[in-house]
């Protein structure tokens, strides 16, 4: 009987904890200062040989992929898209730091055009640490990418034995391994020892159904996030506009209250800068018809401020009409 062909998965690597080397096995917090370069894809695959039984892995030669800004995300998008467009490639795994992994995942979820699996993973402890989560997260990412049921689900994040959808996942803890959560919407499934199991589907528009396309000449508009608290005083939003922001996301208190910046943000929205009301609380929807809505403003639904900034930046590449931007927030 012929051996079953393993899926071919492309591995891309960015900066982060998972591939990092500490100065000792107990170095879990100062590994960036260890003086040691992070492991490359080949070295990590050699350290976790079990992956070879799951997938045929091809390491992307373009590593290391930066992730710090819109331009980096656009370059990463083009690399992922190129890999997925190859008929010999069945899926992609991208390794990066957990701090902004939810943002990378959502940006690619909105801009990659393929039904093939795109799996992102990271770790809370470096590759060399005692009781690291890096090895198992790395292994599980390939299991999920190689699984037929992952097709069509957009970008997913795999850590700690859980599979989360890119739109809903967020980092909730600084150092604990169970940091990634879907908040009030939950997870998509599990990467358990015996099987990959899905229970939910991402229903908002993504990947093949998305209208957003990253091209070689794509330059995204500047968007800033304003965090509202009792200490927040007028001038913050105006300063962002003076610095070149064409869109502002407000991380409002409660259900999206604008606090002491209420009048300032209303004036800015009237001038044509798109203002999106999000909430800092972490769960629940921001409604458009409520106490704090001003003409021309957009409600973020239940998107976090950081993810709202990504959707707004992409949306501004299509339209600056608040009604059109609101449609996008309703659909994505």
pLDDT single digits (tens) 107-121: 999 999 999 999 999
Q: What is the pTM of this model?
A: 0.97
- Position 127 pLDDT exceeds 50: yes
pLDDT of 90 reads: 98
Beta bridge partners of 250: 226, 277
> What is the dihedral sign for C-alpha 77, 82, 87, 88?
negative
Q: Which residues of 166-175 are buried (b: 16+ CB within 10 A; e: fewer)?
A: bbbbbbeeee
pLDDT of 4 reads: 66
- Please write the tens of the pLDDT for every residue from 209-240: 999 999 999 999 999 999 999 999 999 999 99
- Please write the tens of the pLDDT for every residue from 269-328: 999 999 999 999 999 999 999 999 999 999 999 999 999 999 999 999 999 999 999 999
Sorted by where each starts, the structural domains of the chain and their CATH numbers stand as 8-209 (3.40.50.1170), 223-331 (3.40.50.40)
pLDDT category at 264 given cuts 50, 70, 90 is: very high
pLDDT of 329 reads: 98
Residue 180 has φ and ψ, to the nearest 5°, of: -85, 130
- To the query of whether residue 17 is one of the catalytic residues in this protein, the response is yes
d(CA 207, CA 211): 9
- Which of 17, 159, 170, 179 is the catalytic position? 17
Residue 114 has φ and ψ, to the nearest 5°, of: -170, 150
Q: Which of 113, 127, 102 is nearest to 28 (CA)?
A: 127
pLDDT of 105 reads: 98
pLDDT of 302 reads: 97
pLDDT of 145 reads: 98
- Position 189 pLDDT exceeds 60: yes
pLDDT of 3 reads: 55
pLDDT of 138 reads: 98
pLDDT category at 1 given cuts 50, 70, 90 is: very low
Q: How much is the mean pLDDT over the chain? A: 97
- Please write the tens of the pLDDT for every residue from 141-180: 999 999 999 999 999 999 999 999 999 999 999 999 999 9
């Amino acid at each position: 009987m012929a051996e079953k062909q393993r899926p071919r998965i492309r591995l891309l690597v960015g900066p982060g904890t998972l591939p990092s080397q500490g100065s000792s096995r107990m170095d879990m917090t100062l590994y960036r200062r260890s003086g040691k370069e992070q492991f490359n894809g080949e070295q990590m695959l050699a350290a976790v040989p079990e992956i070879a039984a799951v997938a045929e892995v091809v390491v992307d030669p373009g590593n290391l992929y930066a992730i710090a800004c819109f331009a980096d995300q656009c370059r990463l998008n083009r690399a992922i898209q190129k890999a997925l467009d190859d008929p010999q490639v069945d899926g992609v795994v991208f390794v990066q730091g957990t701090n902004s992994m939810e943002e990378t995942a959502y940006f690619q979820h909105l801009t990659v055009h393929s039904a093939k699996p795109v799996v992102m993973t990271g770790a809370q402890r470096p590759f060399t640490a005692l009781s690291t989560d890096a090895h198992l997260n790395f292994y599980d990412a390939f299991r999920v990418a190689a699984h037929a049921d992952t097709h069509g689900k957009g970008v997913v994040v795999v850590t700690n034995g859980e599979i989360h959808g890119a739109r809903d996942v967020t980092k909730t803890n600084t150092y604990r391994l169970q940091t990634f959560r879907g908040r009030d919407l939950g997870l998509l499934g599990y990467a358990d020892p015996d099987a990959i199991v899905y229970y939910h589907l991402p229903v908002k528009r993504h990947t093949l159904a998305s209208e957003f396309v990253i091209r070689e000449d794509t330059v995204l508009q500047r968007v800033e996030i304003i965090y509202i608290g009792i200490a927040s005083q007028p001038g913050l939003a105006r300063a962002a506009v003076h610095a070149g922001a064409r869109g502002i996301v407000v991380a409002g208190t409660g259900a999206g209250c604008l606090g002491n910046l209420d009048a300032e943000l209303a004036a800015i929205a009237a001038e044509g800068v798109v203002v999106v009301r999000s909430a800092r609380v972490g769960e629940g929807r921001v409604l458009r018809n409520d106490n704090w809505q001003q003409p021309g403003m957009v409600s973020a639904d239940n998107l976090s401020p950081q993810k709202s900034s990504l959707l707004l930046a992409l949306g501004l590449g299509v339209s600056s009409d608040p009604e059109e931007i609101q449609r996008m927030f309703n659909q994505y």
